[in-house]
Amino acid sequence: MAQHLENPHSGSDEENEQSKNGSDEKENDVERQHSQRRSRLSSAIETFQPVWFAICMNSGLLSILLHNLPYQFSGVPVLSTILYLLDLVLFIIFLTIMILKYTLFTRRALSATLANIEELCFFGTLPISFMTLTAQTGLTGSTASSWPDRIQHAFTILAYVMWWISTAWMLLTCWTVYYLLAKKRMSHAATMPVALFLPAVGTSTDALVGGLIVQYSSGISARMAVPVIVTGYLLNGYGLFIALMVYAAFLHGLMTNGFPAPAKLPGLMLLVGPAGQCGAALQILGTASSRNFGAYAKGTVLQSSTGAGLNSASVMFSLLLLGFDIFWAVFVTIALLEAAFKGQFKQFTLFWWSTIFPMGTMCTSFLLLGTEMDSPTFRVLATGLFLLLLVDYFVCWGFTIKGVWRGELLDGRSEEQKKD
């Protein structure tokens, strides 16, 4: 009878123990899932690449082009401002992630960067993205008709200061990248990435942005403009001649080793960037020279006659660079179409974002030539190319969002976690 009375209690104890074990297992599962989420987030931060800033560059570029299109309608300024704000938000988010990466994983992140020539070169996208924000701060903020003059002038000063900061940032990046490439012997013809052009393109972009600020921002005096113009010509020479040397080395690599892998093939469009950006920078600096040298009037060079001569010479030289630019644009387009026809593109990569900014430099040249020559042909070419770039931009956004959602682009999980 005693045994009979103890049986219910022993059964109850077993049930309680099983319930407790089940509860512990659930808690362990929750903790494990939480740990995996934290691990995935930290891994995503650690593996974040500077190539993501190409999205900022493209958003800012299209914002600038939209602001200066020859055929405007009432909604264009609003759309341009939206792209400008998107550029700003993305830049802040991506820069925060980069800071977290090199703060939390300093040693591993630096080791990985210094061992990867492509990642090192893509650090040029950070100051270039900042330059697009600088340009739109001057173009949009300082010319908003609904704001009082003092607010417009404040944005002009802000853009002016931002430009000098971006100049120092870009030069430091360019010197550091090429110095490390030479010191560590990180590159040879067989493995030379097209991203080698990025630091050089950045200096010419800086020259172009400086010209845009002094030409279109509200309340810029000749005393403020001339130092930017002179520095802009120096920056353009810096970028142009570095790019010419890299062109020769890269073309040799293409002829001896062929095209890069299909996943990186869209990055070849970066070949279009240097010549297009140099030509556009020369045009805007020439226009700014003709406008400001006469008011500055110092020495024998900084005079109105010199400014007019520089303007004409800059336009003619930019036409030469545009011809070189068109060659590379056709060359790379044929390569991409051939690869697409053969079905070589298996998966979307962030290198597709490289197809927008370089062609945008050509669009900028068309815009400026249309203004300087009062040419309907160049204005139509600029508008048509802009529309193609806009379609490309939204297509890249669609595939990027899809890739992030599926964990194909921004995903810190290990292969085992992906299989689970």
Is 116 inside a domain boundary?
no
Residue 119: which residues within 8 A CB-CB, separation 6 or more? 49, 50, 51, 112, 113
Measured between alpha carbons, how far is 13 from 19 in angstroms, rounded to an integer? Answer: 10
Per-residue model confidence (pLDDT) at position 98: 94
Tens-digit pLDDT string for the chain (420 aa): 444 444 444 455 555 555 545 554 544 454 444 444 456 778 788 889 999 999 999 999 999 999 988 888 888 888 999 999 999 999 999 999 999 999 999 898 888 888 888 888 999 999 999 999 999 999 887 777 667 778 888 899 999 999 999 999 999 999 998 888 888 776 665 567 888 899 889 999 999 999 999 998 888 889 999 999 999 999 999 999 999 999 988 888 888 888 888 989 999 999 998 999 999 999 999 999 999 998 888 888 888 888 888 899 999 999 999 999 999 999 999 999 999 999 999 889 999 999 999 999 999 999 999 999 999 999 999 999 999 999 999 999 999 999 888 878 876 554 444 544
- Other Cβ atoms closer than 10 A to 337: 10
- The reply to whether 295 falls in a domain is yes
* Pick from 102, 79, 89, 99: nearest CA to 56: 89
CB 335 within 8 A of CB 265: yes
Domain assignment present for 281 = yes
Domain containing 408 equals 140-419
How high is the pLDDT of residue 187? 63
- Whether 359 is covered by a domain: the verdict is yes
9 located within any domain: no
Instruction: Identify the bridge partners of residue 298 per DSSP, sorted by sequence position.
Output: 302
Q: pTM here? A: 0.86
CATH code of residue 323: 1.50.10
Within-domain flag for 106:
no
Residues 179-197, buried b or exposed e (16+ Cβ, 10 A)?
eebeeeebbeeeebbbbbb
How many Å apart are CA 282 and CA 233, to the nearest integer? 7
408 φ/ψ angles, rounded to the nearest 5 degrees: -95, -20
Residue 338 CB neighbour total at 10 angstroms: 12
Helix (H, G, I), strand (E, B) or coil at 192: coil
Query: Rounded to whole angstroms, how far apart are CA atoms 294 and 274?
Result: 30
* Residue 315, domain member (yes or no): yes
What integer pLDDT is reported at residue 174 of this predicted model?
92
**Structural domain tally of the chain?**
1
DSSP states of 108-128 as a string?
A: HHHHHHHT-HHHHHGGGHHHH
Torsion angles phi and psi, residue 237, rounded to 5: -65, -40
Confirm whether 162 is domain-assigned: yes
CA separation for the pair 285, 314 (Å, rounded): 8
Q: Give CA–CA dist 254/105, Å, rounded.
A: 36
